[in-house]
Structure 1
């Protein structure tokens, strides 16, 4: 069977989307992409950035880094130095953002490690010998066999619980 042919990335003509559902979906996707780009720009270049967008339905959406007040104040008065209070708020906001970005990096790193461990466990699972309970299709069991399995698993569970109690004692 031949691989499915995709259209790939294409240049989309710049014109308003006529289909309302397509317009809403595109707006949502592009809005998230715009927020990601603004966040990257702020993080990588250390700039303050603000975005205000109105959706096709008229709902306002905004993204500000570091704070809306400081970005708007700097936009209104670009030549005026920031007040001490604004500088402190800005510094605190930037510090918090730096901490959150560091936490995100650590989480993503541990996620990658977990994916690698999961891949290794899958490889081990594929090569290890299977127990009899894994080789029997559960759908083929009759009522008596199901009851037999339940009894076996309950006995196993009680053994595990006894071992746990003995270990605690």
Structure 2
């Protein structure tokens, strides 16, 4: 016999787009939506590799801004641009939203291309890149091996507490031995 549980909250609901009359609810809604739009602007800037700025005015009249890399840099660049280069003047749709994250604008990474179609200069560039990657991997492997050796040395110096105290009450307790004991 199972008792049906009544849901306490209302869950996530769609809110109708109409002015919010309650001042406290207005401030709370603005705060949450401001965080959301700033987060989306940041994600779009990183995804597309663009500079973006969002400027809002709080219900109290305080201006708030977000920019990637900074709102001032984006605004200065916008104000310094020649007239007529607005987004509305561009007829082409933004293509960065059609791409998958991590895929370069050309559609493929350089290591996916067939090596038979490359000339000598491209092959030398790829060879140099692969050597650089190999050196970086070897450096990282050496760092990890050194860390492992250092950790093994530290762990070798740790003895069970029971052995140090001559007691066997709790053999799972460990304390480090630092030299003389």
Shorter-chain TM-score: which interval?
0.3 to 0.5
TM-score (norm 2): 0.42
TM-score (norm 1): 0.44
Name the structure where helix makes up a greater proportion of residues: 1
